[in-house]
């Protein structure tokens, strides 16, 4: 199971925000999504990508990234580089509420945790928020959580734009399509919208989204989460 967030309090967690501007970050963070391709596809040197991968999995400094969503919600990304294994855990958090695991690359493989309509809705950061606020950085940081077999053409365009903004080459559409194929641990899965629950539901065997997101919250908390994710029935 994904490491509970309270256990991170005794781990060597460091703020990962400065790493976002370092050469090779995207190529290192997304390495599992383009297995078999070269880091040069991101417009970076393979040596820079390798060095960044070592920093992300440094046992003495575990990077953490906070993606603010508004109304007190955020997605927190934790790199976990323990003695027995390494993983990346993605949590939906809110003060005073239990954390929800969106995805984790630990041995139990948890994901996907977001469909494309939800990820697209949270790309703009709330005004005055702290943490990862650039929409391109938010998209690429959260891509591993995505696993949607029905991503539209505009999703490819958004990833291409993000890659170029982060230093990628102008011709990177094949890479963007590869990255949207889903994490190899869970792949791209079908999603459906449950109008009664007002939640997207994932068909994935390993997905925590087989039940409505926000079930652990109070009615008011769930309503604010729906607002963050801009929940709406498709084509409504």
The per-residue pLDDT for range 194-210, each reduced to its tens digit, is: 988 889 999 999 999 99
Share of the chain above pLDDT 70, in %: 95
What is the number of alpha carbons within 13 Å of residue 11 lying toward its C-beta?
A: 21
For residue 117, is it within any domain?
A: yes
For residue 173, is it within any domain?
A: yes
For residue 235, is it within any domain?
A: no
For residue 134, is it within any domain?
A: yes
Q: What is the pTM of this model?
A: 0.94
Low-confidence stretches of the chain (pLDDT < 70) are 1-4, 83, 232-236
Query: Which residues are registered as beta bridge partners of 91?
Result: 76, 101
pLDDT of residue 215: 86
pLDDT of residue 1: 55
Please calculate the CA angle 88-28-188 and round it to the nearest 5 degrees: 60
Q: How many residues does the chain have?
A: 236
For residue 43, is it within any domain?
A: yes
For residue 236, is it within any domain?
A: no
For residue 207, is it within any domain?
A: yes
Please calculate the CA angle 2-84-36 and round it to the nearest 5 degrees: 80
Residue 19: domain span: 5-229
Please state, rounded to an integer, the average pLDDT across all residues of the chain: 92
For residue 161, is it within any domain?
A: yes
What is the number of alpha carbons within 13 Å of residue 150 lying toward its C-beta?
A: 12
Q: Are 190 and 147 in contact (CB under 8 A)?
A: no
- Give the total number of structural domains in the chain: 1
């Amino acid at each position: 199971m994904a490491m509970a967030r309270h256990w991170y309090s005794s781990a060597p967690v460091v703020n990962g925000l400065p790493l976002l501007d370092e050469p090779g970050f995207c190529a290192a963070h997304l390495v599992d999504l383009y297995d078999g391709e070269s880091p040069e596809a991101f417009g970076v040197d393979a040596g820079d990508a390798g060095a960044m991968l070592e920093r992300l999995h440094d046992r003495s400094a575990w990077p953490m990234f906070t993606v603010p969503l508004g109304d007190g919600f955020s997605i927190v990304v934790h790199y976990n580089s323990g003695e027995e294994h390494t993983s990346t855990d993605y949590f939906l958090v809110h003060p005073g509420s239990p954390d929800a695991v969106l995805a984790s690359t630990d041995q139990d493989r948890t994901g996907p945790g977001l469909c494309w309509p939800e990820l697209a809705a949270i790309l703009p950061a709330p005004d005055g928020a702290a943490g990862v606020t650039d929409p391109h950085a938010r998209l690429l940081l959260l891509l591993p959580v995505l696993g949607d077999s029905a991503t539209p053409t505009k999703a490819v365009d958004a990833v291409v734009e993000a890659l170029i903004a982060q230093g990628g080459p102008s011709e990177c559409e094949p890479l963007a399509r590869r990255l949207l194929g889903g994490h190899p641990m869970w792949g791209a899965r079908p999603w459906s919208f449950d109008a009664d629950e007002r939640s997207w539901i994932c068909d994935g065997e390993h997905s925590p989204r087989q039940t409505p997101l926000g079930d652990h919250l109070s009615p008011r908390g769930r309503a604010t989460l729906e607002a963050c994710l801009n929940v709406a029935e498709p084509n409504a």
